[in-house]
Amino acid sequence: MQTASVVVDPAHAGTVYASAGNNTNGGNPTTSTGIWKSTDCGAHWAHASTGPGSDAVITGLIWEAKFDASGANLYVANGYGSPPALFKSSNGGVDWVNLFAGKSFTLTGDAKVSAAVPGGTVFQYGGFVQAFSLDPTDATQQHIVATFHENCFDGVPAAHGGWGQVGVTANNGIGCLGETLDGGATWRLFADDQPSQGWVEAATVTVIGASAFLHITPDGVSYTADAGATWQIVSFTSDGGATYNPVGAAYSSYGEGTWLMPDGTLYLGTTFSGILASKAVAGKALGSPRNWTQLANSPRAADIITDGTTMYAGWGIFDGGGQPFWSAPLSDLTHWTQSTSTTDPAAPANGPNEYAYDAANHVLYAAAYSGGLLRMVTQAP
C-alpha cells in the first residue's frame, strides 16, 4: 500500500500503525484511506480509524504520526483534507478528535491583537499542519509545537503592521508556528525565523526543551532558546574546519530529521550537508547555533533513526532513485553503506518519509510513499 507515515506503539510490542494513501499526485498520495493497525509486526492489518472523527482524518494525506511517550495518545497531521488539522486518538486509533476544531488562537508577536482571534481568520486552509513535535522533557506530555503549510493571519493589514488578512492579495500573511502547553486545549501562534517570506514548503520543527526549538526548512536551520521570541541561524564545522550554514535541511522529512541519543547527542539530517551532531558542552546548549559538527562521509538525509547499534538514514520522499537508504554502525558513523529496499534491487522506491522502530522485536519500518511500507529485521531473534 502507498504509505506516508508509520509509528510503533511504545506500550505494546509488535503493534504498529500506518497510513494508507491514494495515488493522485505524481506517484505520491495526497489523500488517505485511513489509519491501519497491525499487532504482529506488520504480518496482518486491520482498519483502525473506524470511530467518530475518522471521516475527517481520512480525507487528507497523513503526513506524520507520533505517540506520546506513554503510548496513551496517538497524534497525526492531516494535510489536504477537510478539515486539515492535528488529530488525536486516545483509544488506539479508533476515535479521533480535531485539536483545532472550535478553538481560538492567541497570537504573539503582534501588539495590535491582544485577545484570541477566531480560528477562521488565522489559517488559510483551516490548519494544514506540515509537521509537529512533542517535547521530550515535558512530564505531562502536553507540550506540542507545529509548523503550517500555509501562512498565518491576524486580520490586520500588512500596511498597518499586522500579519495580513485572509483572501487579500496585498496581505499574504507570515510564516509562523503554533504551540500548545495543554495538549491542544489552547494554542498560541508565533512568528518563525523568516516571517516576511511567508510559508516554506516542508518546514519542520523539533522541540528540544520547554523553550528550545529547531526550525528546519529547505533554506536552513534556526534555533530559539526563548520559545520563538528570537531566532539564530545554526551553523556547523566541517571536516576541514570551515563553518557553514546547513542549507537545504531536512526537506520532506516532516519532523523526522532529528534523533536524540541516550547519551544526549542530537543528530540532524540535512539535504546538502550530510548528518550533523550536537551535544551540550560547557557554555553551549544542546542544538545551539555553533554547537554542531558534521559526520564525515555521511549521506544527505531527511530522515534518521537508530536501533541502539546502527543509524539508518534516507533522503526523503522525493528521492526516486531506487535505493535511497543508508546505514552505519554507531561505533563508526563515518562508514556508511547503501541498502536495497525490496527483494528486487532494481525496483524503484521513494525514500522514507517516516521511520519507526520496534525495539522489542528488532524491526525497522519505513513509510516510503508510493514505494509502500518497508520492513527490515535489524537483529537476529
pLDDT band with cut points at 50, 70 and 90 for residue 318: low
pTM here is 0.89
φ, ψ at 56 (rounded to 5°): -75, -40
Q: What pLDDT shows up at residue 110?
A: 47
Please write the tens of the pLDDT for every residue from 332-344. 999 999 877 665 5
Which of 52-56, 181-185, 268-272, 369-373 is predicted with the least confidence, judged by mean pLDDT?
Answer: 369-373
Collapsing DSSP to helix, strand or coil, 182 comes out as coil
Taking the CB of residue 115, how many other CB atoms lie within 10 A of it? 7
Q: What pLDDT shows up at residue 125?
A: 38
pLDDT band with cut points at 50, 70 and 90 for residue 327: very high
Please write the tens of the pLDDT for every residue from 174-184. 888 889 999 98
Please write the tens of the pLDDT for every residue from 250-266. 444 555 689 999 999 99
Q: Over the chain, what is the mean pLDDT?
A: 82
Q: What pLDDT shows up at residue 148?
A: 85
Q: What pLDDT shows up at residue 191?
A: 87
Residue burial 130-154, b: 16+ Cβ < 10 Å; e: rest: bbbbbbeebeebbbbbbbbbbbbbb
Q: What pLDDT shows up at residue 61?
A: 80
Q: What's at 59, amino acid-wise?
A: T
Please write the tens of the pLDDT for every residue from 104-120. 665 555 444 444 544 44
Which of 155-164, 212-221, 281-290 is predicted with the least confidence, judged by mean pLDDT?
Answer: 155-164
Cα angle 162-165-168, degrees, rounded to a multiple of 5 = 130
pLDDT at 42 over 90: yes
pLDDT at 23 over 70: no
Q: What pLDDT shows up at residue 348?
A: 52
**Residue bearing cell 499586522:** 162
3-state SS, one letter per residue, for 267-299: EEECCCCCEEEEECECCECCCCCCCCEECCCCC
